[in-house]
Amino acid sequence: MALITINRPAKHNAISLDTLEELHAAVGRAADSDAVRAITITGAGEKAFASGSDLSEVLHRDFRKALEPIVQGLADRLERTPKPTIAAINGICMGGGLEVALGCDLRIATPEARFATPEGKLGIIPGGGATARLPRIVGRGWGMEMLLMGEPIDAERALSIGLVTRIVPADELLAEAQRIAEHLAGFAPFVPRTMKAMVNFGMEASLSGALMLEKYAQGALVQTDDKTEGISAFLEKRKPEFKGR
């Protein structure tokens, strides 16, 4: 597992443009490494995953700069990389920080985690993908509630609406992320990346298109050596030895 940490604890891990560059580079290195099977992103310290974009920079942002991908680009990268991505959320996860987490495939949180899209209170709207991804993840109703109201929700509420899938004690957060990564590493290498692609692209397609794409993807995987090994190991009651071919 590659662990990437948003490290600006003095500013509750607010994401500056320089921080974004570093995060892009780190995600790129992890995505390109054959040794990495999953990517986890978290925040330094116990108070925040990321409190949002650095407002001292947003204050002077003009229309031209706002049209650049900025946070949206990082979330897209996390979503599109073939490797599973995990957001390990400790504390405040708001604004641009939440949008980074929304780009991840899995989100786990501590009981102290808090989530919000407060941009409306600042005279703007989210620009990192929340208006598109949040309703797709939690549904239109809760998406509208969070986007329009801008009020924080706690970890239990986030779990109940599907924003996160697990709540774990703070001292076990990264260990849980590691357990998830090790579990994913136990699958044939083609499986997580294909599953991820099917969900992401399938949700953008019609139901019939998504179903057809699924069948072609399964058709490709049934021809792999790993399929033969996986089924044989199951029938023989042994641990499979996948080779990624």
What is the 3-class SS of the chain, one letter each residue? CEEEEECCHHHCCCECHHHHHHHHHHHHHHHHCCCCCCEEEEECCCCEEECCECHHHHCCCCHHHHCCCCHHHHHHHHHHCCCCEEEEECCEEECHHHHHHHCCCEEEECCCCEEECHHHHHCCCCCCCHHHHHHHHHCHHHHHHHHHHCCCEEHHHHHHCCCCCEECCHHHHHHHHHHHHHHHHCCCCHHHHHHHHHHHHHCCCCHHHHHHHHHHHHHHHCCCHHHHHHHHHHHCCCCCCCCCC
Per-residue pLDDT band at 22 (split at 50, 70, 90) = very high
pLDDT value at 142 more than 80: yes
99 is catalytic: yes
Q: For the segment 157-199, what is each residue's pLDDT rounded down to a tens digit?
A: 999 999 999 999 999 999 999 999 999 999 999 999 999 999 9
Average pLDDT of the residues of the chain: 94
Q: Which pLDDT belongs to residue 60? A: 82
Catalytic residue among 21, 119, 229, 241: 119
pLDDT for 102 equals 98
The pLDDT tens digits for 50-87 are: 999 888 888 888 778 777 778 999 999 999 999 999 99
pLDDT digits 0-9 by tens, 218-231: 999 999 999 999 99
Structure confidence at residue 64 (pLDDT): 80
pTM: 0.93
Give pLDDT, residue 57.
83
pLDDT of residue 105: 97
Which pLDDT band, with edges at 50, 70 and 90, does 94 fall under?
very high
